[in-house]
């Protein structure tokens, strides 16, 4: 059985230096989640790997899906057909937070160029997540974005990142992350309060 | 909002159809259709009176005798002949089987374009194989066939083949695909329903179809292969405008001594009423009418060339859900299916179940087969580009005709100057 990060979760549909959209099939939706760190990996050329946070997933309808929703007796085979074969358009949006350059170092900054259409997109493995979350420099990009509820996104990401650490390091990690967020949100106590409540250990 | 619509019209092509000049004609059309509808209701009442008068099973021999008499008189009778069931009785389906195999096929085509860079036509056949009750996704197949050789695109006298010829070849290709995939499923769950969109009876193969004899032969042998595996072959006709039963009622309404080509040229006081109008309201959801045989030269040919087993039988069924207005479809089956009444009732249950998947009340598998088969205009355009590239590679000229180039230029989108360019 392959690990969640070994198979692509989708392919780049469109992109800019600030982020990219990923198209996927319904049956590949089980792995990625809101706040996941993903990477768009170029196909064998010299471009950078672009890292980002998954901030939105949406599923569009079409006339046939609307018909099925209204019908009373839709069979399991019909639903599986829709999920497996029909191009049910599932789209995920990614906020770019960094890239891995030629020197193999991860930089928490917008990438010099966007990924290309059809580049495969993978979930990051625990080592990569720890490597990215070792520095909180990407917080500023997340907290200044207007595309999404940034404290919700950052909190979801931090809880996932903490989960990759040994249990006795998780609390310290979240405390350090909270301090960095407090430094960046000194003028916005409401958002800081919301973020801290979201990452406070249950 | 108005301004937005105006802008969007300006962005696209200008409208050439002057709709305001049609207002009066559309009004007249609405009025005429409403009058026709009132007229049809009166005819329906007459049709029901005749149907009721012959509803009892005891009248079946009499009806068969009247039909045979019309045939003997060579009166050009093209109506229905009851198979062996009372003509007004409704038949419920069997309970839905826990498992079954459904193979459905549909096709589409790109017609030849004499003004294109190359003359060709394309058939695209979509197939879906669904294991009913398995909970598994179905198997889907889309198979295109490109025809460009002289013998396929031109007739003997170098004329371009007609759209009728391509439609006939497509129908035969659909039946072949149904047989090929049905045969592969012969070991899977039974019953095996092999479903095609449209009638099973081939339309008249006119002389304009150069390979009509060959096509007939292929069609009949494909049907025979389905008979060999005892497949539940069916053709599904949505919104049928057929008048076979109405013609039969007209025959019964005509005194025997007056039956002639002239008296049967129309349906007399039932002229204009369709069979689904006659049975509308007589069938509960999922119920079917009696089985009938269509008395047409095509069906006679099916019997002559394919044998008794290939003669086509039909019934109407109400595919609507409970509490909805009736929606009747015609289902055509070959005689080998009609003779197994349990199989008929099971196919009826499966078709009804398929029709409940979508609010359109059209079988889901046929909707998907159509979706797999349909060739969109953008795909046609891309195929034309592929063909042009291939022709260029082999040093051939790839110009469209001046007429086509002119049309393309006139119909293409307009662009508007914007400061800073398009964003």
Which pLDDT tens digit goes with each residue over B256-312? 999 999 999 999 999 999 999 999 999 999 999 999 999 999 999 889 888 899 999
The alpha-carbon gap from B54 to the nearest alpha carbon of chain A, in Å, equals 37
Percent of chain B with pLDDT over 70: 91
Residues 6+ apart with CB under 8 A from A69: A61
In a domain, A4, yes or no: no
Query: Has residue B405 got a pLDDT over 90?
Result: no
Q: What is the pLDDT averaged over residues B62-78?
A: 95
Of A71, A74, A77, the CB nearest to B130: A77
Query: Has residue B169 got a pLDDT over 80?
Result: yes
Per mean pLDDT, which of B44-58, B109-123, B401-415 is the most reliable?
A: B44-58
Q: What is the pLDDT of residue B7?
A: 45
Of B136, B140, B359, the CB nearest to A70: B359
| Alpha helix positions (H), B74-211 | 150-153, 163-184
The alpha-carbon gap from A153 to the nearest alpha carbon of chain B, in Å, equals 29
Query: Whole domain around residue A120: which residue ranges?
Result: 10-199
Joined tokens for residue A127: 């080592």
Sign, CA torsion B181/B185/B189/B192: positive
Q: How far apart are CA A33 and CA A37, in angstroms?
A: 9
Q: Does B137 touch chain A (CB under 8 A)?
A: yes
Largest CA distance in chain A: 58
pTM given for the model: 0.80
What integer best gives the mean pLDDT of chain B? 90
Contact B245, B79 (CB under 8 A): yes
pLDDT confidence bin for B168, thresholds 50/70/90:
very high
Residue that is written with structure tokens 């005689």 in the block: B335
pLDDT in tens, B305-324: 888 999 999 999 999 999 89
Q: Burial, B46: exposed, middle or buried (Cβ in 10 Å; 0-12, 13-18, 19+)?
A: middle
| Count of domains forming chain A | 1
Complex ipTM over 0.90: no
In a domain, A36, yes or no: yes
In a domain, A169, yes or no: yes
Q: Does A84 touch chain B (CB under 8 A)?
A: yes
Q: Does A188 touch chain B (CB under 8 A)?
A: no
The residues of chain B that CATH labels 3.30.2170 are 81-375
The alpha-carbon gap from B136 to the nearest alpha carbon of chain A, in Å, equals 5
| Range from B19-23, B47-51, B275-279, B329-333 carrying the lowest mean pLDDT | B19-23
Q: What is the pLDDT of residue B414?
A: 56
Q: What is the pLDDT averaged over residues B77-96?
A: 96
In a domain, A61, yes or no: yes
- CA A79, A81, A82, A85: dihedral to nearest 10 degrees? 160
In a domain, A5, yes or no: no
pLDDT in tens, B98-126: 999 999 999 999 999 888 888 999 999 99
In a domain, A3, yes or no: no
DSSP B294-352: E--HHHHHHHHHH-GGG-EEEEEEE-PPTTS---EEEEEEEHHHHT-HHHHHHHHHHHH
Residues of chain A whose pLDDT is less than 50? Answer: none
Residues in chain B with CB shorter than 8 Å from the CB of A75 are 132, 353, 357
Q: A-contacting residues of B 345-404, CB under 8 Å? A: 353, 356-360, 364, 367-368, 371
In a domain, A27, yes or no: yes
Q: How far apart are CA B325 and CA A150, in angstroms?
A: 51
Q: Which residues of A38-47 are buried (b: 16+ CB within 10 A; e: fewer)?
A: bbbbbeeeeb
Query: Has residue B13 got a pLDDT over 60?
Result: no
3-state secondary structure of B353: helix
Query: Has residue B402 got a pLDDT over 70?
Result: no
* Residue B16 phi, psi dihedral angles, 5° rounding: -100, -20
Q: What is the pLDDT of residue B210?
A: 86
Contact B292, B244 (CB under 8 A): yes
CATH of region B81-375, choose from 3.30.420, 3.90.550, 3.30.2170, 3.30.1120: 3.30.2170
In a domain, A96, yes or no: yes
Contact call for B358 and A67, based on CB within 8 A:
yes
Q: What is the pLDDT of residue B33?
A: 86
């Amino acid at each position: 059985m392959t690990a969640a990060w070994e198979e692509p979760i989708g392919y780049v549909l469109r992109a800019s230096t600030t982020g990219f959209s990923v198209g996927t099939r319904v049956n590949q939706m089980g792995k990625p989640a809101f706040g996941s760190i993903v990477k768009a990996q170029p196909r064998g050329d010299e471009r950078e790997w672009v890292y980002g946070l998954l901030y939105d997933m949406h599923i569009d309808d079409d006339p046939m899906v609307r018909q099925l929703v209204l019908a009373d007796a839709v069979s399991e085979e019909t639903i599986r057909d829709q999920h497996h074969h029909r191009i049910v358009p599932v789209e995920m949006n990614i906020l770019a937070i960094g890239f891995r350059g030629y020197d193999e170092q991860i930089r928490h900054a917008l990438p010099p160029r966007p990924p290309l259409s059809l580049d495969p997109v993978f979930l990051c493995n625990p080592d990569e997540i720890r490597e990215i979350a070792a520095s909180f420099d990407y917080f500023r990009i997340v907290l200044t974005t207007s595309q999404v509820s940034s404290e919700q996104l950052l909190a979801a990401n931090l809880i996932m990142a903490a989960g990759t650490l040994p249990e006795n390091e998780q609390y310290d990690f979240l405390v350090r992350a909270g301090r960095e967020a407090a430094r960046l949100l000194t003028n916005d106590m409401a958002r800081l309060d919301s973020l801290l409540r979201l990452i406070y250990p249950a | 909002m108005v301004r937005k619509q105006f802008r969007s019209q300006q962005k696209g092509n200008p409208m050439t159809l002057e709709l305001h000049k049609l207002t009066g004609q559309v009004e007249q059309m609405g009025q005429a259709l409403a009058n026709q509808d009132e007229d049809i209701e009166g005819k329906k009442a007459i049709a029901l009176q005749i149907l009721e008068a012959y509803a009892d099973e005891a009248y079946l021999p009499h009806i068969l005798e009247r039909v045979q008499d019309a045939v003997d008189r060579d009166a050009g009778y093209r109506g229905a002949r009851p198979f062996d069931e009372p003509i007004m009785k409704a038949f419920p389906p069997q309970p839905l089987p826990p498992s079954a195999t459904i193979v459905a096929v549909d096709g589409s085509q790109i017609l030849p374009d004499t003004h294109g860079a190359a003359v060709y036509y394309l058939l695209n056949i979509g197939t879906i194989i669904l294991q009913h009750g398995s909970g598994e996704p179905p198997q889907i197949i889309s198979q295109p066939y490109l025809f460009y050789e002289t013998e396929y695109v031109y007739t003997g006298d170098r004329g371009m083949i007609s759209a009728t010829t391509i439609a006939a070849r497509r129908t035969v290709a659909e039946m072949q695909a149904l047989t090929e995939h049905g045969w592969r499923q012969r070991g899977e769950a039974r019953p095996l329903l092999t479903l095609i969109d449209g009638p099973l009876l081939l339309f008249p193969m006119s002389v304009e179809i150069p390979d009509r004899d060959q096509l007939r032969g292929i069609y009949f042998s494909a049907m025979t292969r389905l008979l060999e595996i005892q497949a539940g072959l069916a053709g599904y006709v949505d919104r049928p405008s057929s008048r076979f039963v109405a013609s039969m009622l007209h025959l019964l309404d005509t005194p025997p001594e007056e039956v002639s080509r002239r008296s049967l040229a129309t349906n007399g006081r039932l002229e204009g009423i369709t069979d689904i109008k006659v049975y509308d309201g007589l069938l509960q959801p999922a119920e079917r009418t009696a089985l009938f045989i269509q008395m047409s030269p095509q069906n006679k040919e099916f019997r002559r060339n394919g044998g008794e087993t290939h003669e086509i039988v039909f019934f109407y069924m109400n595919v609507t859900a409970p509490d909805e207005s009736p929606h009747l479809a015609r289902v055509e089956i070959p005689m080998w299916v009609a003779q197994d009444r349990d199989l008929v009732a099971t196919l009826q249950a499966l078709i009804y179940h398929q029709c409940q998947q979508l609010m359109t009340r059209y079988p889901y598998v046929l909707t998907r087969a159509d979706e797999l088969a349909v060739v969109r205009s953008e795909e046609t355009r891309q195929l034309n580009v592929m063909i042009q590239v291939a022709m260029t590679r082999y040093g051939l000229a790839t110009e469209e005709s001046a007429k086509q180039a002119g049309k393309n230029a006139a119909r293409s989108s307009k662009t508007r100057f914007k400061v800073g360019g398009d964003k």
